[in-house]
Amino acid sequence: MTDHDADEGLRSHGGLFFPTGPALLTNSLLNKGTAFTERERDVLGLRGLLPPRVFTIEEQLRRVYGNFQRKADPLEKFIFLTTLQNRNETLFYRLVEEHAEEMIPIIYTPTVGQACLEYGAIFRRSRGLFISIRERGRVSEILRHWPHPDVRMIVVTDGERILGLGDLGALGMGIPVGKLSLYTACAGLHPYYCLPVTLDVGTDNEKLHDDPLYIGINQRRVRGPEYDAFIAEFVAAVRQAYPKALLQWEDFGNTNAFRLLRAYRDQICSFNDDIQGTAAVALAGLLGGLRLTGGSLRDQRLLFLGAGEAGTGIADLFVSALQEEGLGLAEARSRCWFVDSQGLVVRSRPGRLAEHKEPYAQDHPPVATLAGALEAHRPTALIGVSGQAQGFTREIVARMAALNPRPIIFALSNPTSKAECTAEQAYQWSDGRAVFASGSPFPPVTIAGRTYVPGQGNNVYIFPGVGLGALVCEASRITDGMFLTAARTLAAQAGEEDFALGRVYPPLSKIREVSVRIATAVAGEAHRAGLARRPRPADIEADVRARMFVPEYVDYF
């Protein structure tokens, strides 16, 4: 090491160079704060820059958890956790891992929705790359600005359909950041390998155009050939810069989400969580629900409120599962009815249907309302993916309960303010007979002396494990078969203690173990399909566990 190296705040150890002094304390991946040992403080130039007492990570954890609990407002808790993550990622992930059920609703749904709405006002430090349409021709250059050269997981959004909140443009960065935090917290993907990206192509949200704190480019959203060329440049740049990366499409509008998935799923290892992840978690909920209601999957009739990415994605995976059970494609699709803003999706509707709705257009006279569709189809399961708050009325839920001894009612829209009904409403209006799940968390409900703990049909149960499994085996692409495998694996993780509470998913406190099981199953499916670029290990599960990040401090010396 030269004197110049020391001046730049670098120290060599074992042939590796890493920052020292103040530079080390501002590196969130390496910083241990007050847990740096006496030896490390001397060698790394930290003496005097920290209080003299050396703390263990357990002692630090008690401090930060106490500070977290003193924050009364969810958004303030979100800001606190973001600040901690920016300062010390190991401690942040240890906190999230040990208090998963309390932390996940803060770092992701439902709180992340409010955080996105106020992202410009609470912006502290960038945790990802903002690439705007004005930088076409320079995407490869911008990707090289990211400090970590071996990126393996990218979550990208263009901000057009953030949760159920709509077009938030560049404010949607909170979603990729939050999703990647869950990859680490829930599946042990090392944060070094993670890259959040927002593709800023403008926004059609007039409120943002008038907002002086809006952080994105202030123009109408670019569409058509210019948009497509920008996306193509981005995908090509990712393939060149990060050839082992998995690309997750997140919160793109319906007009782009389906066609981008079709266009690129065979060009780059990628998937759309809103379409495929939501489908898997919903199918897992249905499979779990059948253990409460009885009956078989092939006997189920689904009625969807909402016919966008989530709904048709669920239907597609449900149809695939029915085909594996021997049903023909047309018969399987006939089990899925959709109600959108114009009523029941039928073939006789005037004008051209959106491409993703066409397979589920029924040969049936027009029906204007959800109640009418319910009477015509008499579903066993009612699935809300509309972003329409209170779309499931008392009359709808009561009618479902009249048609089914144990009606399956999933209100999956996020955030909480957009849920089709609350857990309390579903249980009360069905006399406690509903098998209920929601996209955002709801508290337990007590009816007639019995307490129900609603399951959260959140994609966090699926995408971290799918991504981890694909990365461990270096899958060349992600298939629908992998998501079907993930759904069945998740359904198997719910136990009798969960069903006794009316819950069709395991608790979030078990999420890392759930992710291990899903990753193992997905990697196994990739090997069976010939899509794994790494040799198959003797023990896939052991290989998965060995590659997971554990939030513990490393001794530098």
Containing H/E element for 249? strand 246-249
Active site residue 108: yes
Structure tokens, 515: 């992710």
Rg (CA), the chain: 24
Q: How far apart are CA 463 and CA 467, in angstroms?
A: 6
Task: Report whether 526 contacts 543 (CB < 8 A).
Answer: no
Phi, psi (rounded to 5 degrees) for 272: -110, 115
Give CA torsion, residues 334, 437, 164, 372, to 10 deg.
40
- 32, 77, 93, 108: the catalytic one is 108
Query: Coil, helix or strand for 400?
Result: helix
Task: Report whether 387 contacts 161 (CB < 8 A).
Answer: no
Upstream peptide bond of 22 is cis (omega within 30 degrees of 0): no
Structure tokens, 494: 């719910």
Residue with tokens 């047309």: 330
- 179, 357, 418, 510: the catalytic one is 179
Structure tokens, 178: 């939050």
Task: Report whether 37 contacts 553 (CB < 8 A).
Answer: no
For the chain, the distance separating the N- and C-terminal CA atoms, rounded to the nearest angstrom, is 17
**Catalytic positions:** 108, 179
